[in-house]
Structure 1
Amino acid sequence: MSRLNLDPLLTFPDGSHLVISTQHSAGEEFSCALYSAVVGNDDRIAFKVVSHDIAASSCMKAQESAYEYALRRYPSAGVILKKPPYLIWHGPRSSEMQ
């Protein structure tokens, strides 16, 4: 996944990963979205949306809000969930979405 500048927040028991995208929107707003990522046998990655845009006035605040959302969604993962800051990745292409 490093070829996509992805840094997983969490690896699930089934081998899938929780990943985050971070984007700078028009104006002064940043947004993050969480995805479940599954690497196939052919090294292609399939993504499913876990959360839609989580917006904030700074990159770090958006990433912290996404982290808090992930903690609420996966409370048992609190000790192993990677904390921000995260690598900047702009999200999957539409062809990678399931």
Structure 2
Amino acid sequence: MSRINLDPLLTFPDGSHLVVSTQCLKEGDFSCALYRVLVKADDGAAFQIISNHLAATTCLIAQEHAYSYALRLYPSAGAQLKKPPYLIWPGPRSTSLQ
């Protein structure tokens, strides 16, 4: 993940990562979504969306919602799961989604 500005929350045994995207919505609220990403040797990436957008009035609260959702999905990974705050990353380009 040398050139992709991602902040992995968790690394899975297959080498893929759980990442969060954080966006500012037009109304001033914030939204986060969780993705599973496999970064290829050429820095290309395959993204799989894990959650719908989790909205809140502040960036940190949206990221805390994403963290809580990740804990519910992967309860055994609680000790390894990175806590907020996270880097601001708007998500993958639609053409790279799989």
Deviates further, 84-93 or 1-10: 1-10
Could you list the runs of 4 or more consecutive aligned residues of structure 1 that deviate by over 4 angstroms after TM superposition?
Answer: none
Q: Is the 8 A contact 2:21 2:32 kept in 1?
A: yes
Residue of structure 1 equivalent to 2:69: 69
Q: Which amino acid aligns with 1:40?
A: K
Residue of structure 2 equivalent to 1:49: 49
Please say if 1:26 is aligned against 2:26: yes
In the TM superposition, what is the alpha-carbon distance from 1:42 to its structure 2 partner? 3.0
In the TM superposition, what is the alpha-carbon distance from 1:94 to its structure 2 partner? 1.2
1:28-75 per-position Cα deviation (integer Å, ceiling 9, x unaligned): 210000000001233211100000100000000000000000000000
Unmatched runs of 5 consecutive residues or more in structure 1: none
Given the two structures, how large is their TM-score scaled by the length of structure 2? 0.95
In the TM superposition, what is the alpha-carbon distance from 1:95 to its structure 2 partner? 1.6
User: What RMSD in Å do the two structures reach over aligned CA positions?
Assistant: 1.0
What secondary structure does 2:7 align onto? coil
Please say if 1:5 is aligned against 2:5: yes
For 2:42 and 2:91, how far apart are their aligned partners in 1?
A: 20
What secondary structure does 2:18 align onto? strand
Higher strand share: 1
Given the two structures, how large is their TM-score scaled by the length of structure 1? 0.95
Aligned positions, number: 98
What secondary structure does 1:52 align onto? coil
Unmatched runs of 5 consecutive residues or more in structure 2: none
Q: Which amino acid aligns with 1:25?
A: L
